[in-house]
Amino acid sequence: MIRAAVLPAVGAPLEITGIELPEPGPGQVRIRLAAAGVCHSDLSLSNGTMRVPVPAVLGHEGAGTVVSVGEGVTHVAPGDGVVLNWAPSCGTCHPCSLGEVWLCVNALNGAANVHARTADGRELHPGLNVAAFAEETVVAANCVLPVPDGVPLADAALLGCAVLTGWGAVHHASRVRKGETVAVFGVGGVGLATLQAARIAGASTIVAVDVSPEKEELARAAGATEYVVASETTAREIRKLTGGHGVDVAVECVGRAVTIRTAWESTRRGGRATVVGIGGKDQQVSFHALELFHWGRTLAGCVYGNSDPAADLPVIAAHIRDGRFDLGALVTERITLDGIPGAFDAMLAGRGGRALVVF
Q: Kindly state the percentage of the chain with pLDDT values over 90.
A: 94
Which residues, other chains included, contact 109 with Cβ-Cβ below 8 Å and sequence gap of 6+?
none
Interval 67-93 mean pLDDT: 97
pLDDT (0 to 100) of residue 274:
98
For residue 80, what pLDDT band results from cuts at 50, 70 and 90? Answer: very high
For residue 60, what pLDDT band results from cuts at 50, 70 and 90? Answer: very high
Whether the per-residue pLDDT at 50 is higher than 90: the answer is no
pLDDT (0 to 100) of residue 92:
97
Average pLDDT score over the chain = 96
Q: Kindly state the percentage of the chain with pLDDT values over 70.
A: 100
Instruction: Give the model confidence (pLDDT) of 168-219 as tens digits.
Output: 999 999 999 999 999 999 999 999 999 999 999 999 999 999 999 999 999 9
Whether the per-residue pLDDT at 48 is higher than 90: the answer is no
DSSP 145-158: EEPPTT--HHHHGG
Instruction: Give the model confidence (pLDDT) of 264-289 as tens digits.
Output: 999 999 999 999 999 989 999 999 99
pLDDT (0 to 100) of residue 122:
93
Contact 40, 188 (CB under 8 A): yes
pLDDT (0 to 100) of residue 52:
85
Cα 46 from Cα 41, distance rounded (Å): 9
Interval 246-262 mean pLDDT: 97
Cα 33 from Cα 46, distance rounded (Å): 21
Going from the C-alpha of 92 to that of each of 36, 142, 196, the distances in angstroms are 30, 14, 33
pLDDT (0 to 100) of residue 340:
96
Interval 138-160 mean pLDDT: 96
Cα 343 from Cα 333, distance rounded (Å): 9
